[in-house]
Amino acid sequence: MEICSSNSIRNMDKDYIEKFNMPSIVLMENAIIKFLENIDLTKESFTIISGRGNNGGDALGIARHLLNKGKKVYVHILEKEKNGSVDYKTNLDILEKLGCYIRDISNTKHLETLKNNIINSEILIDGIFGTGLNKEISGIYFETIKCINENSKFTVSIDVPSGINSDDGSICGIAVKANETISFQVYKLGFLNYNSFEYLGDLKVVDIGIPKSIVYKNSDNMRFIDREYIRNKFPYRNKYGHKGTYGRSLIFAGHKGFIGAAYMVGQAAIKTGAGLVTVFTHKDVQSELSIKLNEGMTGTYNSKEEYEEFIGGSNVIAFGPGMGNNDLTFEVLNNIFNIYSGNLVIDADGINVLEGKKSILKEFKGDIVLTPHPGEMARLLGIEIKDVERDRIGIAKVFAKENGVIVLLKGYNTIITDGDKVFVNPTGNSSMASGGMGDTLTGIITSLISQGVNSFDAAILGSYIHGYIGDELSRENFTVSAMEIIKNIPNKIKELISF
């Protein structure tokens, strides 16, 4: 599914209408029909609140169909006597000829009638503002939305809850708190802002018939990852493959008190299918790790001579989990930068030691996948976590482009970007909120790169697979641990890529 800004949506509609000689009223009717297919038509009474733009046109078309189905319909139009869009006026003219109950809302005196109709209706349909809103709501519009939120039993918003900026998810003074939002054709960029979630309710994105070629052309290079993408990109196994075929993963992780991080990264890489896995850890815990990680090799990163000879033969290096934010960690990372030019996955303390030193990222000659959570990203940029979460796509894209890296910004709807293209991962849930999950993800991504997947696709695949396993396990479990994810990697990958 594509993710679009309001400007791209306008261009998409315009493109479709002009290239296919498609009347805009027909496109509006498609949206109206799809909306009706997705609401509860067992209910008998509806209050519909309309603006005078195309969102209002949708609302009035929905009112027409509900009226023709014998439903009790109350229509209220904000500042009805003012001019509106062409398609809005067409639907209003039809509705008036049908004798529908229609009332104006132009001052606070009209709100008492509106309130009574809302209270007497089973469903309220919000069609005040669509994707074009970009200013603060005030006056009668503010009071109307307040009335909706205070009195509606169940609210369904058309395309976007009125009051949400569809580009950044910010609230324009006030917004409708919908129980459901039925959005058209594409996922709105602003819906990725965590602040918008309490207003969206149950979100459905429905296809209204715009050809995929038009959608792709206007999608801003942003989309959700889906199962089809995973199947097409996954490194299927050669009949004659051997351990050398599936690559050498080199992992730098762990120190005293954090042996689990080293173990989980290594074990996740093994379970995902890397041919050979070697974990370099702190000398104080290397012997203990060797006993636990009996399907991989181990060494220590305290000695440059010891790990240096392995670097040239590796397909990928993972760096950082559990190493500690200290001088030794940065020293080892800097050494790797000086002698290696392959694929590098940097996580956890590998990111933390870059605070104030991120300029070295630009000097690396290979591919870097950086996997910060919002806190790590904020420290790296010297900003607040809330600033990262306010614009996760923008922050990740700019950082990736400026530093020549791939950014995987963790969180609900994880963002993966190379500074140009953006993929959003829909898998994963809060049952996975426990220690070791990031280490496991790093191991999965590292393993995929060692098997020949390019770094960008490995980040995309790894994120989806990791979350998919968590989703599947959480169907029967209240919480899911990192070790449970690791245990289930082989069988869940098999399940995921099966046609």
Residue 132 assigned to a binding site:
yes
Please check if 63 is assigned to a binding site: no
Any known ligand binding at 54?
yes
Query: Is 301 annotated as a binding-site member?
Result: no
- Does 452 carry a binding-site annotation? no
| Cβ neighbours of residue 213 closer than 8 Å, sequence gap 6 or more | none
CA angle, 54 as apex, 423 and 213 as ends, to 5°? 40
Say whether 56 counts as a known binding-site residue: yes
Is 440 annotated as a binding-site member?
A: no
Q: Is 141 annotated as a binding residue?
A: yes
Both structure tokens of 215: 């959608």
3-class DSSP state of 153: coil
367 assigned to a ligand binding site: no
Question: Is 168 a known ligand-binding residue?
Answer: no
Is 126 known to sit in a ligand binding site? yes
Choose among 461, 410, 413, 479: nearest CA to 438: 410
Write the CA distances from 456 to 122, 367, 406, 463, integer angstroms. 48, 9, 7, 11
Q: Is 51 annotated as a binding residue?
A: no
Q: Is residue 411 a known part of a binding site? A: yes
- Residue 425 annotated as part of some ligand binding site: no
DSSP readout, 439-463?
Answer: HHHHHHHHHHHHTT--HHHHHHHHH
Residue ranges in 83-138 assigned as alpha helix (H): 86-97, 111-119
Q: Any binding-site annotation on 414?
A: yes
Measured CA to CA, the distance from residue 229 to residue 128 in angstroms comes to 36
DSSP for residue 104: E
DSSP assignment of 257-324 equals T-HHHHHHHHHHHHHHT-SEEEEEE-TTTHHHHHHH-TTSEEEESS-HHHHHHHHTT-SEEEE-TTS-
108 token code pair: 């606070």
438 is annotated as contributing to ligand binding: yes
Distance CA 431, CA 493 (A): 20
Helix (H, G, I), strand (E, B) or coil at 342: coil
Has 58 been labeled as part of a binding site? yes
- For residues 172 and 136, is the Cβ–Cβ distance under 8 A? yes
Is 38 assigned a ligand-binding role in the annotation? no
- Residue 136's SS3 state is coil
> Is 57 labeled as ligand-binding?
yes
The tokens of 55 are what?
A: 């969102």
133 among the known binding-site residues?
A: yes
134 annotated to a ligand binding site = yes
* Residue 55 among known ligand-binding residues: yes
> Of 204, 202, 198, nearest to 176 (Cα)?
198
Residues annotated within a binding site:
54-58, 126, 130-136, 141, 159, 162, 261, 322, 373, 410-414, 438-439
Residues annotated within a binding site for K(+):
55, 126, 162
Residues annotated within a binding site for (6S)-NADPHX:
54-58, 130-136, 141, 159, 261, 322, 373, 439
Residues annotated within a binding site for AMP:
410-414, 438
